Structure 1
């Protein structure tokens, strides 16, 4: 399986979820799910960056 690590960017870089297996963006709402079933919902998403080589997801939020 190919998991990733999610970070939120809003002036600094903060790790928000490990072992991410699902990324769903709908409008300005992002839902991340990891392999243990932990779900994180983020509102106000401005940009989503996915680095497939490093298995990293970067979430840029408004503000």
Structure 2
């Protein structure tokens, strides 16, 4: 009966490694997802900034044309 208990104990040690690997993979996937979302948000904000500057340039161009 004692040998069966030690066998189960050694099995628990081997079982911890895959859980650690799965935890590491889950953490890596979460980090990658956050980075992708941040990049998408950054591109969206940059696009809005470029559109705003484009509108300002158009307004300035029309203002200069009307004065000539």
Q: Smaller-chain TM-score range? A: under 0.3
More helix by share: 2
More strand by share: 1
